[in-house]
Amino acid sequence: MAPTNAGTEPPSTRRRVLDAAAAVFARDGLGASMEAVAEAAGVTRMTVYRQLGTRDEVLVALLLDQSGVVVDDLQRILGEVGRPFGQRAVDAVLLIVEAVQASPVLSLFVHRITPTEVGELDRDNRFLDAVWGLLGPYVDEAAARGELRTDARRTLDWLLRQTLLQLTVPSSLGDDLATRRAELELFLVPAICAS
């Protein structure tokens, strides 16, 4: 009788390559080589290219993969019925900030690659399209309910830039969760909400 894995299937090659790339880029930064990724995954460099594409495509795949850890929580927060959109937006920004700070790979994208460089890496807009696809419906819904000061697209664009600001510019008042929340409630909510 053949042994069974009983739910312990080995990870797919793509998953192994993504996990290896995350570890290598977190360790080596942007100077990481495709050879190091291949070695860490236990595959050839050609397999890395077949699974994820060029170095830039590997970085975008990593960004999408690592960002995926917050998708369920973002959907839960933004989908909460009965809470004003401004409160949900504050919680969403704080969740994103905490997730990026906890992830060496996501931190690499925020602190070592400029937004312009991310755009150059993501020439086909896979990451930005995924962000808009995830968050857009919630902002559209808030706009339809009359909760926003302006249109949904302008609001979401501004929220994304404010989130990046929270990640990149230290506050002289402190960057702990309570201070961030107070700042966002004081400034972000009135900036986006109709009342």
Instruction: Go through 145-183 and write b for each residue having 16 or more CB atoms within 10 A of its CB, e for each that does not.
Output: eebbeeebeebbeebbebbeebbeeeeeeeeeeeebeeb
Report pLDDT for 103. Answer: 93
Q: Given this model, what pLDDT does residue 31 score?
A: 86
Distance CA 135, CA 113 (A): 23
Average pLDDT rounded to a whole number, residues 21-37: 94
Dihedral pair phi/psi, residue 193, rounded to 5°: -95, 145
| CATH class belonging to 66-192 | mainly alpha
pLDDT level of residue 127 (50, 70, 90 thresholds): confident
Give the pLDDT confidence of 94-125 residue by residue, as tens digits: 999 999 999 999 998 888 877 677 778 888 88
Burial of 49 (0-12, 13-18, 19+ CB in 10 A): middle
Q: Note the pLDDT tens digit of each residue in 51-92.
A: 999 998 999 999 999 999 899 999 999 999 999 999 999 999
Q: Residue 109, exposed/middle/buried by CB under 10 A (0-12, 13-18, 19+)?
A: buried
pTM for this predicted structure: 0.85
Look up residue 11 and give its two tokens: 């990870």
pLDDT at position 155 = 97
SS3 of 193, please? strand
* Residue 29 or 38, more confident: 38
pLDDT in the model for residue 4? 44
User: Where do the domains of the chain lie?
Assistant: 13-53, 66-192
Confidence band of 129 (pLDDT split at 50, 70, 90): very high
129 or 30, which is more confident: 129
Could you tell me which residue, 195 or 12, shows the higher pLDDT?
12
**CATH code at 13-53:** 1.10.10
